[in-house]
Amino acid sequence: MYRDIMNDLIKWKNRTRRKPLIISGVRQCGKTFIIEEFGRTQFSNLLTINFEEQPGLKEVFDFDFDTKRIVSEIEKLTKAKIVPGQTLLFLDEIQECPKAITALKYFCEKMSNLHLVCAGSLLGVALRSENISFPVGKVNRLDLYPMNFREFAIASGEESLIEMLKEWNVDRPIPDYIDVPMKKLLKDFYIVGGMPEAVSVWTSTHDYAEVEAVQREILKDYADDFSKHAPINELQKIRWIWDSIPVQIAKENNKFVFSHVREGKRAADLDDALSWLQNAGLIYRLELVEKPQLPLSAFADKTYFKVYMSDVGLMRVRANVSVDTILNEGEKYVNYKGAVAENYVNNELVVQGKSPFFWRSNNTAEIDFMYEKDNEFYPVEVKSADNTQAKSYKQFCSKYNPKKGIKLSTKNIARNPSSKTETYNIPLYMAWGIDYYIDSRN
């Protein structure tokens, strides 16, 4: 399946000042598949070392960090030839071999002509461990996420529609022959999500029950990870938080409240457990910025935040939202429909490399998302239907005068240049192209 990150991998391959590459991402988001596809298509040969499946190879890194010795021993043990410039050496599940992580420094300094890529499940957790000497400044980094909507659409056979939308003129309404199938596809994405195995099953069977079976297996694997890899003293707390997230997302005032996780528990009791889930890539923390100034991160309130899940399909399953509910949008789904749309938009922004925040004023007005780019900040209002009349958005723009703002909804694309804040109405299914649409009129 097509993944945007392949372009970044090719750019890394061709860099003159290339360093060993670490790819982080939540379990089962496709790291191993895309790296091996990269190796097969862009190199003469690929050598994969999986430290979970081949634990004996960890001992190669125990003696010292002599890169020539390490490569020579790997060649002999695997009966493979490693040729710099021709071979991609892939160290998978590298978190199982902390000394291999430390060794990356010496590969950078002594063998920079070797293309070396590393990845692993729960690598984000491992890299924050005090037991690992991380090679600061000696590695390149990339993050891989669950598939975004654009990738899902391409996998679903709608690449031609995506190509048409990629450079769409914001002043031209989108015709029904594009709008109708894309809205249907977005509902499918809310159901299936972006975990590659779930997407693969969907594209081959179009059977929602088969997809959900895969999603439940993935969620079970995540729960098993808690037991295997989380600190013993945090395990129960992690489970409490994990179970509370779908409920907290659905609240009208969806600030994450620690006491709603477990009665009597406070931030001091649970924050480490929440951070473990965040470092594992399973959740995102969206912090409040009450008085927007640049940089937004400097004015964020780290004690006041929302939490979203890293995959909207898994969120749906954990919240027990049925397929029929998504497809038919009954009256009882109105509130959670907004929560699903927000979770989806958050993830689309993150995949684009943005660090979103949100704004709230005395619990009377709120902007769902806000991000900065090119010394400006952009408010993003999300509506799960076609009603884009938003008092909070008007209040925010009147008070802070951003040059441009975005309303994401089911409404057709349009541009309103008449006010101080030039506002772009963009369909939810085009969230992956925000930068192009708002910059195309410059």
The pLDDT value given to residue 388: 65
CA 366 to chain centre: 24
| Shared-domain flag, residues 58 and 207 | no
Task: Give yes or no: residues 201 and 333 share one domain.
Answer: yes
Mean pLDDT of 336-346: 94
Residues 252 and 370 placed together within one structural domain of the fold: yes
State the pLDDT confidence band at 38, using cuts at 50, 70 and 90: very high
Do 98 and 60 sit in the same domain of this protein?
A: yes
CATH number reported for the structural domain that contains residue 104 in this entry? 3.40.50.300
Does residue 93 sit in the same domain as residue 163? no
Q: How far apart are CA 10 and CA 6, in angstroms?
A: 6
Which of 60-64, 128-132, 171-175 is the least confident region?
128-132
Residues 294 and 387 in one domain: yes
The residue from 143, 170, 204 where one domain ends is: 143
Residues 315 and 167 in one domain: yes
* pLDDT at 129 (0 to 100): 73
Please tell me whether residues 237 and 132 are part of one structural domain. Answer: no
pLDDT band at 390 (very low <50, low <70, confident <90, very high): confident
Would you say residue 294 has pLDDT above 60?
yes
- Domain-terminating residue out of 143, 164, 197: 143
Instruction: Tell me how far apart the alpha carbons of residues 426 and 438 are, in angstroms, rounded to a whole number.
Output: 9
Q: Name the pLDDT band for 384 (thresholds 50, 70, 90).
A: confident
The helix or strand, by DSSP H or E, that contains position 93, with its residue range, turns out to be: none
Q: Are residues 188 and 280 in the same domain?
A: yes
The larger pLDDT score, comparing residue 334 to residue 33, is at 33
The pLDDT score that the predictor gives to residue 419 is 76
Q: Are residues 234 and 369 in the same domain?
A: yes
Q: How far apart are CA 275 and CA 271, in angstroms?
A: 6
438: phi then psi, degrees, rounded to nearest 5: -85, -15
Identify the helix (H) or strand (E) that includes residue 381.
strand 376-382
pLDDT-derived band at 441, boundaries 50, 70, 90: low
Q: Give yes or no for residue 130 having a pLDDT over 70.
A: no
Q: Please indicate, yes or no, whether residues 272 and 135 belong to a single structural domain of this protein.
A: no
pLDDT tens per residue, range 242-254: 999 998 988 877 8
Work out the percent of the chain whose per-residue pLDDT is above 70. 99
pLDDT(131) > 90: no
Residues 272 and 346 in one domain: yes
Q: pTM of the full predicted structure?
A: 0.94
Q: Which of 116, 143, 170 is the last residue of a domain?
A: 143
Give tens-digit pLDDT for 302-321: 999 999 999 999 999 999 99
Domain that residue 309 falls in: 150-439
Overall domain count for the chain: 2
